[in-house]
Structure 1
Amino acid sequence: MQEQSGALPWFPGGQTDPWDHVESAMALSVTGFHSEAEAAYEWSRRTQRDDGSWPIRTVCGRVEDAGVDSNFCAYIAVGVWHHYVITGDTAFLERMWQTVWSATELVCRYQRPDGAVRWGGDHGTGAMFAEAKITGNASIFQALDCAIRIAVELDQPDDDWVRAHAALGDALRERTDLFDPPSEHSMDWYYPVLGGAVRGRAGQELIARRWDDFVVPGMGIRCVDHRPWVTGAETSELALALDALGDTADAIDLIASIQHLRDPDGSYWTGLVFADGKRWPVEKSCWTSAAVVLAADAVSRATPANGIFRDVRQNLVAGARVT
């Protein structure tokens, strides 16, 4: 599905967004397609705007939504750190440093005084929207951790990033009222665990609270709590969250449960409406296959970066050298 430019769209001819593009690049790194992964990161480096952002949606090189999504911008740090852990390529890390720095600085500008990060803004005017979304913020928490790791590895630690990480973690754990109320989507349920802000007993209790609302035994998990629709990417992400809590056996069971989405060519269909047995949407999305690959790597401990979600740190101290 990768375009000549290096972009990884949802499907051939479809949209590319900065977050799913990076997730798909991470799957390429896991499976040994390192040059293809680096072409994807080169696309990110080349298309980043002066303010550190990327357009929300690009189709075949044409910008269709020029807006800013802070979480979309933050995720480059996760992908770059992930690729470095697998390859050990310091030259790659150095080449991507300015891109990661610019994106992370944008995220810090979008952070509110209460620690939550505004979800997006208008690129043309520079206006930032007030609302903070829990899924995006939970993902940004992991991204800040990875950005700090990159900065330390390159001997350029940034205490402001450490403080931003700490304030966001406190908000996700102690002040959930700061965020938009959780939606009917499963991501708002498990992402605080997946992103690393909530772990241990608190994480297990959070997962248990809505397990029956979303998990369909033997089929995967619902994307939306009241619809008979299971999706491969959300199921794989929940598996990653469970593995991060130490519940690896349950994570393996979840990955096994979505093999009905696997096409004979090895790719994965986005989802299934189990009420009538129909695939929907009728597409094999790049990011769905990527999420399955990342979950399989986590539970099999196959690559050096298998702990990219499991090893997110909760507490960092400004002024200390963090490793």
Structure 2
Amino acid sequence: MEGLLLTKGIFPEQYLRKTVDYILSVQTEDGCIPWFTGGKADPWDHTEAAMGLSIAGEYAAAEKAYQWLADKQLPDGSWWANYKDGDALYTEKRETNFIAYIATGVWHHYLITEDRHFLVHFFPAVKKAIDLVVSLQAPTGEIYWAIDEFGRPLQDALVTACASVLKSLECAILIARELGQDANNWSQAYEKLENTLHHHPECFDRTWESKERYSMDWFYPILAGVYRGQAARDRIKERWDTFVEKDMGCRCVSDQPWVTVAESCELTMALLACGEHAKAVTLYSWLHQWRDSDGGYWTGYQFVEDVIWPEEEKTTWTAGAILLAADAITEHTAAAKLFLESSLTTISNTDQLAATEEA
């Protein structure tokens, strides 16, 4: 099956069951979800796969994954960048978007299950993580991308990482509000970060080459709610031909002939977020040619050499992204619109919406 055209209300549960089973087959006894069997795990991709399990109704497995995160959390609220066989793979740095993403996963699971005990249980881990991330906000609003082994900030910022942090801050604020906890400090950090992402590109990529060749820098700000309405559609149109390969998917980087399934799924959700439904459904329909017989999806395809690449990577986070995009298109769960809408309206977004209405 090389095409899968989805519509609202019809989630392809039978077709994607093997994809869910693939994630479960890789998950280890302690709850960790490595990239693939025998591979490393990182907190962000682990959470992406766990969200796929929640969508599929595999609540116990998803909760076990979040418990693994809580158990591995360091005293300052962070996680190391990578783990293997239960131990940190290396301890040179801890990335802020990895740290913050637990809030997105926990809120996503709560939206689906409405399990308040789950939310209460994991709030301390979310709070420690988000408090640390907020403490690493620069005076100009961006979030420093990482801290070193001694907890010192690495003082530069990435657009994609900060967009991911923005969505995690939104989820953390919503968790706090649901539990009657104070989130004023987080709300202030959210507003500053959203403003910087929208109005101050000079605050990013200051000490290294610009990352705008990466497709995620193009569409992640839409997923995070930095751009809405016509502004988001204009942003999509501007670089569509740069990144999208017809009948294949979205490139990871503009200057390499490599389409990647996870980025294509995330672009699918960004398209839905800005009202480009037909493009979203079409893009998503191209991705299932990269599915293996066991339900897992290969990370990407190198279309000049006509090879799956990297050949050993059939990643659980790619499977998670497949499930997230399917949910977003079909509105299968109560979390389907998590990446399509923002529950927080800032001044910048209000201005965008007003401009859209006037147009």
The TM tier, using the shorter chain, reads: over 0.9
Q: Secondary structure at the match of 1:196?
A: coil
Residue pair 1:166, 1:315 contacting (<8 A) in 2 also: no
The answer on 1:71 being equivalent to 2:100 is no
2:286 is aligned, of 252, 257, 261, to 257
The answer on 1:15 being equivalent to 2:44 is no
Q: Which residue of 2 aligns with 1:153?
A: 178
Q: Which residue of 2 aligns with 1:247?
A: 276
1:231-246 aligned at under 5 Å gives the runs: 231-246=260-275
The answer on 1:293 being equivalent to 2:323 is yes
One-letter amino acid of the structure 1 residue matched with residue 42 of structure 2: D
1:3-42 aligned at under 5 Å gives the runs: 3-42=28-67
The answer on 1:312 being equivalent to 2:342 is yes
One-letter amino acid of the structure 2 residue matched with residue 208 of structure 1: K
Counterparts of 1:276 and 1:208, CA distance in 2: 28
Kindly state the Cα deviation for residue 46 of structure 1 after the two structures are TM-superposed.
0.7
1:138 is aligned, of 143, 160, 163, to 163
Deviations 1:76-116 (A, max 9, x none): 00000000000000000000000000000011011011110
Kindly state the Cα deviation for residue 182 of structure 1 after the two structures are TM-superposed.
3.0
Deviations 1:239-298 (A, max 9, x none): 010011121221111110111101122211111111132101112111111111100000
Q: Which residue of 1 aligns with 2:298?
A: 269
Kindly state the Cα deviation for residue 183 of structure 1 after the two structures are TM-superposed.
3.5
The answer on 1:113 being equivalent to 2:143 is no
Residue pair 1:169, 1:314 contacting (<8 A) in 2 also: no
Q: Secondary structure at the match of 2:180?
A: coil
Q: Which residue of 1 aligns with 2:19?
A: none
2:191 is aligned, of 166, 173, 185, to 166
Q: Which residue of 2 aligns with 1:100?
A: 126
Q: Secondary structure at the match of 2:154?
A: coil
Counterparts of 1:157 and 1:82, CA distance in 2: 20
Kindly state the Cα deviation for residue 313 of structure 1 after the two structures are TM-superposed.
3.6
After the TM superposition, list the runs of 4 or more consecutive aligned residues in structure 1 that deviate by more than 4 angstroms. Answer: none
Structure 2 gaps of 5+ residues are: 1-25, 348-359
Residue pair 1:26, 1:83 contacting (<8 A) in 2 also: yes
Kindly state the Cα deviation for residue 314 of structure 1 after the two structures are TM-superposed.
4.8
Q: Secondary structure at the match of 1:307?
A: coil
One-letter amino acid of the structure 2 residue matched with residue 304 of structure 1: A
Q: Which residue of 1 aligns with 2:15?
A: none
Counterparts of 2:139 and 2:344, CA distance in 1: 20
Q: Which residue of 1 aligns with 2:243?
A: 214
Task: Determine which structure has greater relative contact order: mean sequence separation of CA pairs < 8 Å that are 6+ residues apart, divided by chain length.
Answer: 2
One-letter amino acid of the structure 1 residue matched with residue 286 of structure 2: S
Counterparts of 2:222 and 2:54, CA distance in 1: 24
TM-score normalized by the length of structure 1: 0.96
Q: Which residue of 2 aligns with 1:203?
A: 232
Counterparts of 2:159 and 2:344, CA distance in 1: 16
Q: Which residue of 1 aligns with 2:4?
A: none
Deviations 1:114-159 (A, max 9, x none): 1100000113x22101101000000111000000000000000311
Q: Which residue of 2 aligns with 1:321?
A: none
Aligned length: 316
Deviations 1:164-221 (A, max 9, x none): 0000000011111111133421111111111112211111111111110110011101
Residue pair 1:162, 1:316 contacting (<8 A) in 2 also: no
Q: Percent identity?
A: 43
Q: Which residue of 2 aligns with 1:84?
A: 110
